[in-house]
Structure 1
Amino acid sequence: MMSIMQVTQTIHFMPTLPVRSKKKAAQPMLPGLEPESTQPETAKITNRQIAEVLAGIAEMIEGQNGNPYRVQAYRNAARGVLDLTEPAANILERGERLPIPGLGTRLNQRISELVTLGSMTINNGFCMDALPMGVRVLMSVEHIGPYTAIRLYQELGIETVEQLLQAANRKQIRQLAGFGIRSEARLKAAAEQILTHKNTNHSLGGAA
């Protein structure tokens, strides 16, 4: 029986903020000709922006050895959004489904969540038996989940706790995007703890 680990991630969309123009000095107006006060309209996420998020999620799932069918589903959705003849945000605001062939109900809801909240929550199921042994070894280290383990394995070629400690001593981990001195120090301490415990048990076993 295969072991599946469920992991939840939230993808946040960061829209480009409009550039604020400097306020002009107030000009005297004739009675009855005052300009109407207008509120700035909240910018809606565009189809291209939605497609970029979907394509990015597809790349992320693929890079994490995720389900290839889910990868294809997100890519198809990205292409479908680009092919729409009107903004997806308008369609979803009317309570309608996006007219994209093959788009599932769940992914349609995810896109609606992105349009409404500016974020999208996805669930990834990792088949533990399908992960490389090195990734599973790294996941036994404190502070290392499946995503971090896969990145360390793929980007630095780390497969053992010993290699993890060596990479930390060489200050290689902090060079990865999303890591820093503190996170590297935490992983180093966790690796040292495992190796110290391992060596202690080995010494006790030899003494017996």
Structure 2
Amino acid sequence: EPGDDLTTDLIAAREAGDGLSEAELVGTLLLMLVAGHETTLNLITNAVRALLAHPDQLRLVLDGALPWSAVVEETLRYDSPVGQFPLRYASEDIEVGEVVIRRGEALLASYAAAGRDAGHYPDADRFDLTRQPARHLSLGHGPHFCLGSGLARLEAETALRHLFGRFPELALAEGERPEPIGSFVSNSVRTLRVRTRK
């Protein structure tokens, strides 16, 4: 059902013969689905898990001491919605510490590990909404920075504000032990059972 949206415009461009191949169309639509939905879903889920596991931090936001944007930024650092992605290849020999990565060898960026680098973040394994600045690589960097970062941040802030505004006593369900998503790329859990009242 065609509408006033990007999917319809991409399909129309393909049908009009504007140089968009079928592979490019499918690839772009898949990228929109994964990058524009799954990663934001993971971000929201990871934020809820972190807040429920750290009620002192949740209280800072519920009391208005900190904005929801602090939750989003610290979650991106603490528990990146993307674990590893994508492979890059060294264009020249690179020395990293005592290791030499040879030209042509594959490199894998681990966003989840980068956020927990104790050499870069004091007390890196602690979820701390007051951390300043809350820098991270979860949305990429340089030419590989996420085009949808602003929208993802807005969606996550809005979802968290409304969820905890409606259910301020939200808590993990008794005995909840979430199962990680079985993915090399996605970093979150399959399901997260919660209670709306304590």
The normalised TM-score by structure 1 is 0.25
Computing the radius of gyration over CA atoms, which structure comes out larger, 1 or 2?
1
